[in-house]
Amino acid sequence: MTSPDLELDDWLDALDAAPPATPPAADELVQAVEAAFDLSGPLARLDPGYKPREPQLQMSRAVARALGRRQALVVEAGTGVGKTFAYLVPTLLAGSRALVSTATKSLQDQLFLRDLPRLAKALNTPVRLALLKGRSSYLCLHRMKEARVSGDFPDRRTALALARVERWALGTATGDFAEIDGLDERSPIIPIVSSSRENCLGQECPDWKGCFVVKARREAMEADVVVVNHHLFFADMTLRDTGVAELLPSVEIAVFDEAHQLAEAGVQFLGTLLGTAALIDFARDTLAQGLAHARGVHDWQALHAGVEKASRELRLAAAGSLATAGRELRGTLKLAWKERAAQPAFAAALVGVEQACAEALGALTAVREAAPDFARLCERAQQLRDLARRFAVEPDPGDVRWIDISPHAARLVESPLDIREAMQEQLQGPQGSSKAWVFTSATLGDDERLTWFTEPAGLTEAEVLRVGSPFDYPTHARLYVPRGFPKPADPQHPASVALLASRLARALGGRTFVLTTTLRNLQTVSDGLRERFEEAGDAIAVLQQGALPKRMLLQRFIDNPASVLVGSASFWEGIDVPGDALQCVVIDKLPFPPPNDPLVEARVKRLEAEGRNAFSDYFIAEAAIALKQGAGRLIRTETDRGLLVVCDPRMAGMNYGRRLRAALPPMTPVANEAEALAWLQLLNEERA
């Protein structure tokens, strides 16, 4: 595997002597990569159990060629390929400045704290590493002090959380909230003690010298490899306020892991947003600063109440009948813009927001020079007023609008349909054409060109590689699609899913995931499982998404294998339970996108206008990706064994079912429930 012409040490010596701006020759970098992955190479010395994997080396060679030639590469790498090392090894050996972007903060932390330091040491490539997150991930010393002075907290628990943050602040070097064990990233204390683009005082801040955001950005600018996330990358395209704007021109390599989430992250951040949460934050900050620095000049309580009232009325108008029907919302519901835009109450609510923000702006302008915070509050008031005006008129051509409703907030969103133009601008811009771009994930499409990902991402001209999993799926995994099952539209379908899942879980003594496509089915299936287990006297716990934080719920499942975990969207991907703790995954139905989703509707219209088949090119492609993600929870290591069940007879009976089955790993099909139970019984016996 190793070329006799180039030993790794020789390569590293040559790299040290080469000018940093000189891109390495692609074939030489490939040889260095092969030496690194050799059985007698540094990776083998790093891990005594290391075994070369041809799929991993195949991907790493392709990445090395793309880096050496400064090209764009898209790689789908199946579970078990080891794609993280496959792109990190050539990235480190290339000796060029690199940016690595991920979809989740957890993978960011894993790369920065574990993978990159270990690999850099093993490869003897000393590099300066930096981790850069968004503002909301870092403590703002100024806002923490202001929060203690104002004492304005939604509840006692938040006040206690502030005290905990204050104790931690005395010793932290980074200000990264991830250091605080057990602090949920959705905690209400975080927006109170972190800054946003709107409320940051910049160099006017009395705590500017100790600012953790400034420190993180400075370290990123000085580093050789910087780890960011997709949200940060796209937020910068519109805000120019994340630190990436200064960083990107100096980067020669850009790698995007978990790239299947890239398009949705981009759509979320490239659009325009007016949220009731932002209005309430503005109202709270106006009150706190007014009382602290200009008490008696204006009726700050009245201004605060006016913006809060406008925010509340906007949420009620956006929710419409949902606000009065007594329906309990779980998660976020997406509403079509046309359902609300023509209603007088909605238009009046937008006018109310505009007027409340304008009144606040007038009062703040009068005291603008009294304290640095007032200048920022003036800017926020003006932005919120202008957003209310914007959403009162028709959207830009080619954009789509919708409303997100959650239990306590509403967001008005205007967004592009995809990230095509934004990514092409990056790739073809002055610096983009001289960079190497690598995009990778376990799921990027169900065809050879990976068009599900490459089309909306503007990467149709990029080199594409598909690397299959090295796992022995035919031997270790079975696929069961019950043919006589009720169709998803049948009212009895969720109860039937619960009944079948209870029988399968009973055969394993738990060790089962049930993945649902809707929150409604989540509740119905969970209740049905509990009833079945109670009736039979089974000591199997039912763990339901939402009952506990995701991480805690997953830990309970791992600690107690006599469990069934029922989860929806967030449990379909990014969940890793290796070994025999999880041996059965049940999917309630094919995960087609909801046809009434405003983004889906707009994308379908565009495809039809282009003369394309929206069902084939969009709905089936989306279902295939989601199905692959859900199925990917089952087999996580080369020794894992298990059963995948898809409780949707359309997968067996419809023509498109063949395409969806082909998108899955090559699991051996079983014909009926008896064969499925026999397989689970075998797994039980082997485990015993």
Q: Which residue has the higher pLDDT, 247 or 338?
A: 338
Which secondary-structure segment (H or E) carries 448?
Answer: none
Contact 82, 56 (CB under 8 A): yes
Average pLDDT over residues 377-384: 95
Per residue in 539-551, pLDDT tens? 999 999 988 888 8
Burial label, 559 (beta-carbon count in 10 A; 0-12, 13-18, 19+): exposed
Q: Which residue has the higher pLDDT, 645 or 293?
A: 645
pLDDT of residue 238: 61
Return the residue matching tokens 């012409």: 5
- Rounded Cα–Cα distance for residues 543 and 511 (Å): 11
- Rounded Cα–Cα distance for residues 418 and 255 (Å): 20
Q: Which residue has the higher pLDDT, 371 or 647?
A: 647
Which secondary-structure segment (H or E) carries 335?
Answer: strand 333-336
Band the pLDDT of 105: cuts 50, 70, 90. Answer: confident
Please list the alpha-helical segments (H only) found in 170-211: 189-193
Band the pLDDT of 320: cuts 50, 70, 90. Answer: confident
Band the pLDDT of 574: cuts 50, 70, 90. Answer: confident
Q: Which residues of 29-44 are buried (b: 16+ CB within 10 A; e: fewer)?
A: bbbbbbbbbbeebbbb
Q: Which residue has the higher pLDDT, 246 or 272?
A: 272
pLDDT of residue 430: 67
With helix as H, strand as E and coil as C, how does 261-315 read?
HHHHHHHHHHCEEEEHHHHHHHHHHHHHHHHHHCECCECHHHHHHHHHHHHHHHH
Cα separation values, 657 from 516, 647, 661, 662, Å: 19, 13, 6, 8
Q: Give me the count of residues in the chain.
A: 688
With helix as H, strand as E and coil as C, how does 53-120 read?
CHHHHHHHHHHHHHHHHCCEEEEEECCCCCHHHHHHHHHHHHCCCEEEEECCHHHHHHHHHHHHHHHH
What pTM does this model have?
0.88
pLDDT of residue 183: 85
Band the pLDDT of 18: cuts 50, 70, 90. Answer: very low
Average pLDDT over residues 396-423: 89
- The angle subtended at Cα 304 by Cα 303 and Cα 307, nearest 5°, is 85
* Percentage of the chain modeled with pLDDT above 70: 93
Give the 3-state secondary structure percentages of the chain, helix then strand then coil, rounded to 5.
55, 15, 35
Confirm whether 272-416 and 473-687 share one CATH topology.
Answer: no
Per residue in 347-370, pLDDT tens? 999 999 999 999 999 999 999 999
Contact 522, 553 (CB under 8 A): no
Per residue in 136-182, pLDDT tens? 899 999 999 988 887 777 788 888 899 999 999 999 999 999 899 87
Choosing among 3.40.50.300, 3.40.50.2300, 3.20.20.70, 1.10.287.1080, the CATH entry for 473-687 is: 3.40.50.300
pLDDT of residue 47: 85
Band the pLDDT of 204: cuts 50, 70, 90. Answer: confident
Nearest alpha carbon to residue 483 among 628, 258, 647, 663: 647
Instruction: Map residue 206 onto helix, strand or coil.
Output: coil
Q: Cα 446 to chain center, whole Å?
A: 21
Query: Where along the chain do its domains lie?
Result: 272-416, 473-687
Topology at the third CATH level for domain 272-416 = Four Helix Bundle (Hemerythrin (Met), subunit A) (1.20.120)
Nearest alpha carbon to residue 130 among 213, 225, 265, 6: 225
Q: Is the pLDDT of residue 679 over 80?
A: yes
Band the pLDDT of 422: cuts 50, 70, 90. Answer: confident
At 645, phi and psi to the nearest 5? -120, 125
Q: Is the pLDDT of residue 19 over 50?
A: no
Instruction: Map residue 336 onto helix, strand or coil.
Output: strand
Burial label, 595 (beta-carbon count in 10 A; 0-12, 13-18, 19+): exposed
* Percentage of the chain modeled with pLDDT above 90: 69
At 591, phi and psi to the nearest 5? -85, 65
Q: Is the pLDDT of residue 15 over 80?
A: no
Average pLDDT over residues 17-33: 71
Contact 139, 175 (CB under 8 A): yes
Q: Is the pLDDT of residue 442 over 90?
A: yes
Average pLDDT over residues 207-231: 93
